[in-house]
Amino acid sequence: MNGSEPFGAFHPGRRVLLGPGPSEVPPRVLQAMAAPVVGHLDPAFLRLMTELQAMLRQVFKTQNQTTFAVSGTGMAGMEACLANLLEPGDKLLVGVNGVFGGRMVDMAERMGVEVTTIERPWGEAFDPDEVAKAIERVRPKAVSLVHAETSTGAWQPAEDLGRICRERDALLILDTVTSLGGLPVEVDAWGVDACYSGTQKCLSCPPGLAPVTFGPRAQEVIAKRKKKCQSWYLDVTMLGSYWGQERAYHHTAPISMNFALHEALRVVLEEGLEARQARHLRNHRALAAGLEAMGLHYSAAEGRRLPTLNAVRIPDGVDDAAVRKMLLVDFGIEIGGGLGAFRGKVWRIGLMGEGSNPNSVLLVLGALEQALAKQGVRTSPGAGIVAANAVYASK
Amino acid sequence: MNGSEPFGAFHPGRRVLLGPGPSEVPPRVLQAMAAPVVGHLDPAFLRLMTELQAMLRQVFKTQNQTTFAVSGTGMAGMEACLANLLEPGDKLLVGVNGVFGGRMVDMAERMGVEVTTIERPWGEAFDPDEVAKAIERVRPKAVSLVHAETSTGAWQPAEDLGRICRERDALLILDTVTSLGGLPVEVDAWGVDACYSGTQKCLSCPPGLAPVTFGPRAQEVIAKRKKKCQSWYLDVTMLGSYWGQERAYHHTAPISMNFALHEALRVVLEEGLEARQARHLRNHRALAAGLEAMGLHYSAAEGRRLPTLNAVRIPDGVDDAAVRKMLLVDFGIEIGGGLGAFRGKVWRIGLMGEGSNPNSVLLVLGALEQALAKQGVRTSPGAGIVAANAVYASK
């Protein structure tokens, strides 16, 4: 290899993925992904696409025809929603209460969109009334909000947002990256016009695709665009022709990723969305009880805490990196550090999809107890486990 | 599942992939892809990224620091190159002699770039002199050409293009989607400023990533941009911070796809680039001899035929779809139909990466003989196989 030694095969070692994603992937999904590749216009693959769309509609709770997986990770889904619905000069209202709202602002500004923000301290959620008032003040074409803020662990109530937007003639774009498959997401019932997610969170599929869905009002806006979508790769009209009946070649779909998502969605629907949500909630409650018993505090406001992503403040004087390194090296556990304003200030413990289970909860509490002790933080020995087990013992 | 039957597991059946890509994937690559997922900031994954970049540099034959895999398929690589090097109002010269040149025009126009084209009939390549003259006439910021036109099977000589562009103060963007890993690609020696490819052709990895490389002149242009790149997802400066020493989180990388590409590049470099190119050439010669002995004619001009993608004219009166269906159903063989102006007029037989082997050649010739006979086309029985074997028998 040009005189240098060739690289060896990659053997990453086993991890317990309890960070902000990717989450644990069921072995049967990994196995489905490794099936021999077929062509992107093969009748068998086209059938898989149709099934995948039908399953995505069930997971998004929508009848939207335009429901498919964008060939990129979650952020490609965000960009697809913004780039297709907005044109240069359009007005967008963005709720910013964490990193991902901020990203929407950056993305939309790159598109020549006129962005107005409403802001909330990190860890808080927006009140539907303040969204309504901001729409009346700004008169935007669209409103963009994050259902589950992965950077803060805050859960945005979304039931009324669609109605509020619709009554004020604005489109609603909702980020469900860290909620889809783990928390209730009701695209049609809530009146969400465009919604995107990622595969590597509560769907427990490897990262690589971004499920998206566009409703009738979004479709109408797209059909009436003055200019083509700025992105060829993410043009929903062309993508819809490939995923739709025309089967018009657009790009070579990531075949293996679609194999994986098909199997991951089968796993989700076999469990059932409601059972899955209940499981996420129960394991979150056990973890929260344990963390609090160990003296750790959530960064998200009471009543707004995501079951899927538990962000807790790092106690004063504790070495963030040393704790995360110890968890990784001694236990193979990945938890997430803080992003942006929360860098060095919070840990993010994900209980998503396959990873939301009692084993994860007990393991991370036990390992954290060791790591905190090493940092000189006094916790009542075993208190975390005891508190978590008490939740599991309750009905 | 909402009253309807759940979908079953997906079992595509075995295919022989001899279309325009995806190509055959070695089992060890599929296996590497199915390793348990790790986090996108896991030290083990960061090490894999570094190795992957080093191997991509060897394959691209470049020292470019900014060499990595974009988290999308080949067309995301095209869009990344155009969107990062060009700003609204910039001039781009595009060589159009097939579908993919046409796509560059569409993409660049969406970006507000002022596009001028030079054109050649499909199947032909551009003469370096005409490129030089066009640059002098148009004075573009960049020139974009397709090294291997997947829609026509034409091979664009590229050795002199970088020098020609540099002497005229233009950047050279080269599409190597259907050449990288199968034909000589010499990014540094040829003076290519930005180059993109896909994983699913001559690298024999599943589709899902776009290898890219940006040279010093491209880097300088990117550093001096007046406006941010229109695409957040494809912003090379931010992507470079993730792939570079900062390891700054940008998006959740498609972990499993990167596992696959790492292993696929190991396979490529174990064989050696030159041995691999010689193999592609030899199997192409055998296939070409066989096809011609059966009375089929290449659509690309003599001396310009891609070893990796053999596009032949469909004989008059032959039912395109019926032949391809018979190959697929009776033999599991996928070959490609024509795109754009070549729709219904050519078949595209890919001999790429793992799929470039004598078995593929003999199989597709034998199966085509059956299919043509069924269509009433008289070929001399066995002539294709005899001609191919004669090539294999020669030194």
Whole-number CA gyration radius for chain B? 21
Q: How many Cβ atoms from other residues are within 10 Å of residue B287's Cβ?
A: 27
Distance of alpha carbon A209 from the chain centroid: 12
Please report which confidence band the pLDDT of residue A395 belongs to, taking 50, 70 and 90 as the band edges: confident
- Measured between alpha carbons, how far is A105 from A82 in angstroms, rounded to an integer? 10
Query: Are B232 and A58 in contact (CB < 8 Å)?
Result: no
- pLDDT tens per residue across span A225-257: 999 999 999 999 999 999 998 999 999 999 999
Rounded mean pLDDT, B213-223: 98
β A91-96/A66-70 pair status? unpaired
Hey, is A146 helix, strand or coil?
Answer: strand
Tell me the one-letter amino acid at A391.
V
Chain A positions in Cβ-Cβ contact with residue B200 (cut-off 8 Å): 37, 252, 255
The Cα-based distances of B119 to A302, B127, B341 in angstroms read 64, 11, 14
Residue B2 pLDDT greater than 50, yes or no: no
pTM of the model: 0.97
- Measured between alpha carbons, how far is A313 from A341 in angstroms, rounded to an integer? 12
- pLDDT tens per residue across span A314-373: 999 999 999 999 999 999 999 999 999 999 999 999 999 999 999 999 999 999 999 999
Interface test with A, best of B58, B59, B73, B236 (most A CBs within 10 A): B73
% of residues, chain A, pLDDT over 70:
99
- Measured between alpha carbons, how far is B318 from B321 in angstroms, rounded to an integer? 9
Chain A positions in Cβ-Cβ contact with residue B74 (cut-off 8 Å): 251-252
Q: Does B198 touch chain A (CB under 8 A)?
A: yes
- Measured between alpha carbons, how far is B296 from A227 in angstroms, rounded to an integer? 43
- Cα distance from A256 to chain B (closest Cα, Å)? 7
| H-helix or E-strand spanning residue B91 | strand B91-96
Nearest CA in chain A to B52: A7
- Report which of B248, B336, B349, B361 is spatially closest to residue B308, judged by C-alpha positions: B349
pLDDT at A202: 98
Query: Are B54 and A22 in contact (CB < 8 Å)?
Result: no
Question: Counting Cβ atoms within 10 Å, is residue B220 exposed (0-12), middle (13-18) or buried (19+)?
Answer: exposed
Domains of chain A are 27-269 (3.40.640.10), 272-393 (3.90.1150.10)
Query: Are A266 and B19 in contact (CB < 8 Å)?
Result: no
Please report which confidence band the pLDDT of residue A13 belongs to, taking 50, 70 and 90 as the band edges: confident
Q: Is A314 left (phi over 0), alpha (psi -120 to 50) or beta?
A: beta
Hey, is A350 helix, strand or coil?
Answer: strand
Nearest CA in chain A to B16: A38
Query: Per DSSP, which regions of A102-227 are E strands?
Result: 114-119, 142-146, 148-149, 154-155, 171-175, 194-196, 210-214
Please report which confidence band the pLDDT of residue A1 belongs to, taking 50, 70 and 90 as the band edges: very low
Number of residues in chain A: 395
pLDDT at B12: 85
- Cβ(A20)–Cβ(B42) below 8 Å: no
% of residues, chain A, pLDDT over 90:
97
- Measured between alpha carbons, how far is B259 from B15 in angstroms, rounded to an integer? 23
β B171-175/B194-196 pair status? parallel
Q: What is the DSSP letter of B192?
A: -
- Measured between alpha carbons, how far is B161 from B153 in angstroms, rounded to an integer? 19
DSSP alpha helix (H) spans, A72-169: 74-85, 99-110, 128-138, 161-167
The Cα-based distances of B353 to A195, B74, B389 in angstroms read 38, 16, 21
- pLDDT tens per residue across span A119-142: 999 999 999 999 999 999 999 999
Would you state the structure tokens that stand for residue B394, as one six-digit string?
Answer: 């020669």
Residue B308: phi and psi, rounded to 5, are -85, -25
- pLDDT tens per residue across span B285-342: 999 999 999 999 999 999 999 999 999 999 999 999 999 999 999 999 999 999 999 9
- Measured between alpha carbons, how far is B83 from B173 in angstroms, rounded to an integer? 12
Mean pLDDT value across chain B: 97
Residue A14 pLDDT greater than 90, yes or no: no
- pLDDT tens per residue across span B362-390: 999 999 999 999 999 989 999 999 999 99
- Cβ(B228)–Cβ(B88) below 8 Å: no
Query: Are A254 and B1 in contact (CB < 8 Å)?
Result: no
- Cα distance from A145 to chain B (closest Cα, Å)? 18
pLDDT at A6: 76
Q: Does B19 touch chain A (CB under 8 A)?
A: yes
Query: Are B10 and A262 in contact (CB < 8 Å)?
Result: yes
Would you state the structure tokens that stand for residue B340, as one six-digit string?
Answer: 């754009």
Could you report the predicted ipTM of this complex, rounded to two decimals? Answer: 0.97
Interface test with B, best of A53, A228, A231, A343 (most B CBs within 10 A): A231
Residues within 8 A of B (CB atoms), A 248-287 only: 249-257, 259-260, 262-263, 266, 269-270
Query: Are B255 and A206 in contact (CB < 8 Å)?
Result: yes
Chain B positions in Cβ-Cβ contact with residue A58 (cut-off 8 Å): 1-2
Q: Is B308 left (phi over 0), alpha (psi -120 to 50) or beta?
A: alpha
Beta-bridge partner residues of A70: A210
Query: Are B36 and A12 in contact (CB < 8 Å)?
Result: yes
Interface test with A, best of B231, B239, B249, B342 (most A CBs within 10 A): B231
Query: Are A44 and B13 in contact (CB < 8 Å)?
Result: yes
The C-alpha angle A205, A209, A213, rounded to 5 degrees, equals: 110
Q: Does B226 touch chain A (CB under 8 A)?
A: no
Longest dimension (CA), chain B: 68
Residue of B34, B208, B230 lying closest to A230 (CB–CB): B230
- pLDDT tens per residue across span B235-256: 999 999 999 989 999 999 999 9
Q: How many Cβ atoms from other residues are within 10 Å of residue B229's Cβ?
A: 22
Query: Are A12 and B200 in contact (CB < 8 Å)?
Result: no
- Report which of B211, B29, B255, B23 is spatially closest to residue A209, judged by C-alpha positions: B255
β A194-196/A210-214 pair status? antiparallel
Chain B positions in Cβ-Cβ contact with residue A35 (cut-off 8 Å): 10-12, 30
- Report which of A136, A133, A93 is spatially closest to residue A113, judged by C-alpha positions: A93
Residue of A111, A207, A257 lying closest to B230 (CB–CB): A111
pLDDT at B6: 76
Rounded mean pLDDT, B113-124: 98
- Measured between alpha carbons, how far is B10 from A277 in angstroms, rounded to an integer? 26
Nearest CA in chain A to B177: A252
- Measured between alpha carbons, how far is A246 from A240 in angstroms, rounded to an integer? 9
Chain B positions in Cβ-Cβ contact with residue A14 (cut-off 8 Å): 36
Residue of A208, A233, A260 lying closest to B75 (CB–CB): A233
Q: Does A232 touch chain B (CB under 8 A)?
A: yes
Mean pLDDT value across chain A: 97
Residue A171 makes CB contacts below 8 A (sequence gap 6+) with A85, A141, A142, A143, A165, A193, A194, A217, A218, A221
Would you state the structure tokens that stand for residue A216, as one six-digit string?
Answer: 């009738």
- Measured between alpha carbons, how far is B12 from B367 in angstroms, rounded to an integer? 21
Chain B positions in Cβ-Cβ contact with residue A339 (cut-off 8 Å): 249
- pLDDT tens per residue across span B16-30: 999 999 999 999 999
Chain A positions in Cβ-Cβ contact with residue B12 (cut-off 8 Å): 35-36, 38, 42, 44-45, 48, 259
- Measured between alpha carbons, how far is B391 from B387 in angstroms, rounded to an integer? 7
- Report which of A107, A27, A111 is spatially closest to residue A74, judged by C-alpha positions: A107
Query: Are A48 and B12 in contact (CB < 8 Å)?
Result: yes
Query: Are A38 and B15 in contact (CB < 8 Å)?
Result: yes
pLDDT at A5: 64
- Report which of A245, A250, A211, A210 is spatially closest to residue A229, judged by C-alpha positions: A250
Q: Is A2 left (phi over 0), alpha (psi -120 to 50) or beta?
A: left
- pLDDT tens per residue across span B168-204: 999 999 999 999 999 999 999 999 999 999 999 999 9
- Cα distance from B301 to chain A (closest Cα, Å)? 25
Residue B1 pLDDT greater than 50, yes or no: no
Question: Counting Cβ atoms within 10 Å, is residue B136 exposed (0-12), middle (13-18) or buried (19+)?
Answer: exposed
